[in-house]
Each structure stands twice: as C-alpha cells, then as structure tokens.
Structure 1
Amino acid sequence: MAVDLNYEKDSKERIPYEHYLEVYQNADPKEISSRCDVPYDAEKQEFTVSLMGVSYRISWPEYNVFHIGDDGSVSPIIGWYPLEKKPNAKILVLRYLTEGGAAPSTGKFLTYREIPWGEVYFKQFQGRCLFRLAFGFGGKLDAFREIMERVGAQAISSGDVGYELEFMKGLFVRLILWAGDDEFPPSAQILFSDNFPAAFTQGEDMAVVGDVTIDMLKALAAK
C-alpha cells in the first residue's frame, strides 16, 4: 500500500512524518536491518517488520507498506492493519527504524512512570491510554479476553484479567484490567518490557504504543 496519508497542511503529524521519512530514505538499509534486527531483502528492497502479530513488507526507500498472510501472500490475518493506514503507527515504526534499536529484555516490566520522561508526561498517558483502556473494556472482560486470544497474546496472572502481547519483535506490553465494583470504577495498567527505552527514545513513543494497541482492541471489538 503506497504512502498516502492525506495530511492537512496544518496536521501535527505531517511535519514529523516528513522529517523521519527523509531520514529513512537517506539511511543505509543494511545498517537499519542490523541495528533493529529486522530482515532486509536487498533484491526486493524490503524490510519485514512485525506489529501486534501481523507481519508487514516495508519498501525502502519509498516506505510503502503491505501486510503479509501466513503463506507469504497479501491476505488478512486479524483484519486490522494500522501500519498501512494509521499515521501514528507509521511514524512510530519510522522512528524505530531511524533512531531506535533492538536490545534484549531482562524480563522486567516498567510502568510508564519508570521510563525516561514518563513522570513528566504521565497525566497525558493516563488520559490517552489507562483511562481509555479501563473504561473501554473494564466492563467487557470477556470481549477483551476474546480479542487478546485472537491476536495470540498470553494470559498472565495480574488484575482481574491480564495479557502479555508482543507489540514488535522482542518488545512486549502487558495490558491489565480491574473490573471495578459499586465503590470503585474500573481501572487499568499498561506495562512495557524494559528494552522499550532502547527501541524508542521518547516518552511520547510509549504513549503511541498504548494508543495503537487500544485502537486495535476497539477495532476488533467492532468486528
């Protein structure tokens, strides 16, 4: 799918997208492949990148994106392909490819407040992600379970319901829900594997990870 985001001239996403696209187009694809641990086919000039259980072919230098079926063909897997259409997902992956890098996790998970700059932006993250997850699915735990199972997430023993999802290769998020009761409203927590700060250098990136993940939940809940 060709890059056609239909940005308005004053779009807050247009300028960063164009900036990171220029960096990407002038980068060495072999260096990107090595630094980010993503396969690169030099003959086809394509990376293969995984996002939330879906593999995508990403061309270089054009940054055209196509999702890949299990047999290698272009066919649906889960029916939600943000990297083809969503500007925030496109910019996030561009930032990873141009500035981030693969690093092993120790197995520890971090709250948003524990990541660099997380304390500064916590209120925004709380509204954009934690409240949205809690009030979107705190009363729909069965629907939440069904979606997480559908995308291959692993159940964990946290909260009333919790799952661990591989967001990108080697980068895991944990989504945890508490249903609430007559006295307390539903609540949520999102945890990030401790290699996220190596992959993404800004606290805003992890908020976008939360946005993209919750967008996926809402899209699949509607199917």
Structure 2
Amino acid sequence: MDFDYAKDSKEQRPYEYYLKTYQEIDPKEISERTGFFYDEEKKVFTVVFMGSTYEISFPDYKISHKEDEKGVYPLEEAMNAKIFMVRYLSEKAKAPSSGKFLTYREVPWGEVYFRQFQGRCLMRLAFSYGNKLEAFKKVMTAMGAKPLEQGDCAFELEFMEGFFIRLILWEGDDEFPPSSQILFSDNFAVTFAAEDLAVAGDICINMMKAVERKLS
C-alpha cells in the first residue's frame, strides 16, 4: 500500500533514538505503563491502532498486522506511524479521558503551532473531503469510526486504545470553501505534545486516503 507521507531522511535519526530507548526498557514496565498486553512467551505486544490489531516484537520492534477488512496497515508501513508508536512505548503512558474533547488551540503550545497544524491537517482534511462527503462517510465507516451529529458530516475514530479523534466537515458552496475541525480526547493533551497531535492527524488523513484508494 502506498502511503503519501513524506519520506524525509530526518525521520531516521529520531526513529533510531527511540528504537534504542525501547530496546533498553523492561517490556513488563512498558506493558504496565501503556496498558498493552505483552506475551512473554512470544515476546510481542498486542496493539490496536486505528481499528487494526498488530503484534510488535520486543526487543527488535518488528511489526505485523492481523488481516482485516480495511487492508491498510500504516503502523507496519508508514515511518511517521512507526516513530509515533515506538516513542509511545519508550516514554509515554496511557491516561484516562474525562470524555471532553479539545481543539488543537486548547492543548499546551497548540496556539503556537496552530498555523502548521491548520495547513498540515485542517486544510488538508477540508479540501480532501469537504466536497466529497459520501466518500468521507464510506472511508470512515470502513475504518470503524462512529458517526456524530456535528457539522455537515462528522465521525469519531479511536486512534489508539483509549485515545479518540473527532473529524468534522462543513461542505463548501459557491460562496465559502469547505472547512473542517479536528478534536482530540483530552487525554491526548496529558500524554502527548502539540507536535505529536499534528502527527496523529497526519497519520489519520494518510490512512483515510489509502483506504479511499482501496475502496475505489
């Protein structure tokens, strides 16, 4: 599957850094901190990422998926997703959500980085699907997302176990271009930095486009 993420050589250095950190941690500690089940016999973590189940080996960080109807597995193929996950395993911890959702501006440092997030995620989502609501519905349904009564069309997607993203679209017309909003469950702000949330949005949109190609 061809994911349209940037193949930037700068990604290799952080990947190697977090991979080394991951390999030096006790897998039981990782399991307790993240909530991911660790099979000591097989030496793998079981992870659900955007509705697909993966096994991640320890310590070599080999990722394999369990086949499902989507047939799109970014955690196995996209470097930004691999870095996101190995970083989570290396230094982050699962946090509960209160049920509240936040805009990007509401998370710490979100106001500072909002312009980048706007171009990287909000405008990209709006101009990819704001005038293709039926395609948006098909893609989100295929990804196992839950429809919401917001905007002209909206869905809630479980990005990772316990972490939810809401994608909301307003259709464009002759006077106004399409627009979008992306909301994050409030535990994102506890666990991740603002830049991580932009990466999460980027990973979501990349997967949406890959699923759309598969469906067409």
Quickly name the TM-score band, shorter chain normalised: over 0.9
Confirm or deny: 8 A CA contact 1:163 1:176 kept in the other structure.
Answer: yes
* CA distance, structure 1, for counterparts of residue 123 and residue 85 of structure 2: 25
Match of 2:160 in 1: 168
Give the deviation of 1:92 after TM superposition: 0.3
Provide the C-alpha distance between the structure 2 equivalents of 1:199 and 1:96, rounded to a whole number of angstroms: 9
State the distance in 2 between where 1:47 and 1:117 align.
32
SS at match of 1:43: coil
Structure 1 gap ranges (5+): 1-7, 69-74
Q: CA deviation at 1:221?
A: 1.1
Residue number in structure 1 paired with 2:180: 188
Deviation at 1:149, TM superposition (A): 1.1
Shift in Å at residue 103 of structure 1? 1.2
The Cα shift of 1:197 comes to: 2.1
Offset from partner CA, 1:66-98 (integer Å, 9 cap, x none): 001xxxxxx343111011111000000111111
d(CA) in 2 for partners of 1:13, 1:166 = 25
1:65 is aligned to: 63
Counterpart of 1:127 in structure 2 is 119
CA contact (8 A) 1:175 1:191 kept: yes
Structure 2 CA distance for aligned equivalents of residues 116 and 88 of structure 1: 22
Quote how far apart the aligned CAs of 1:116 are: 1.4
8 Å contact from structure 2 (residues 52, 68) kept in 1: no
Distance 1:53 1:128 in 2: 23
What residue is the counterpart of 2:196 in the other structure?
Answer: 205
TM-score of the two chains, using structure 1 as the length reference: 0.91
Give the CA deviation at 1:133: 0.2
Displacement of 1:222: 1.1
Cα deviations by residue, 1:196-218 (Å, 9 ceiling, x for unpaired): 12332x21110110011000111
Give the AA of the match of 2:76: E
Other structure's SS at 1:62 match? coil
In 1: Cα distance, 2:180 partner to 2:146 partner: 17
- CA drift at 1:171: 0.3
Task: Give deviations 1:83-142, integer Å, cap 9, x for gaps.
Answer: 111100000011111111111100000001111111111111000000000000001100
Structure 2 unaligned segments of length 5 or more: list them.
Answer: 1-6
- Counterpart CA distance in 2 for 1:94 and 1:118 is 23
**1:27-38, aligned counterparts within 5 Å?**
27-38=25-36
SS in 1 for 2:177: coil
RMSD: 1.2
Select the residue among 144, 154, 161 that pairs with 1:152. 144
Shift of 1:177: 0.3
Number of the residue aligned with 1:56: 54
Distance (Å, rounded) in 2 between the aligned partners of 1:95 and 1:39? 17
Counterparts of 1:82 and 1:216, CA distance in 2:
7
One-letter code aligned to 1:44:
K
Q: 2:86 aligns with which of 94, 103, 109?
A: 94
Q: Would you say the 8 A contact 1:175–1:189 is kept in 2?
A: yes
Identity of aligned residues (%): 60
Distance in 2 between the 1:21 and 1:64 partners?
11
Aligned to 2:3: none
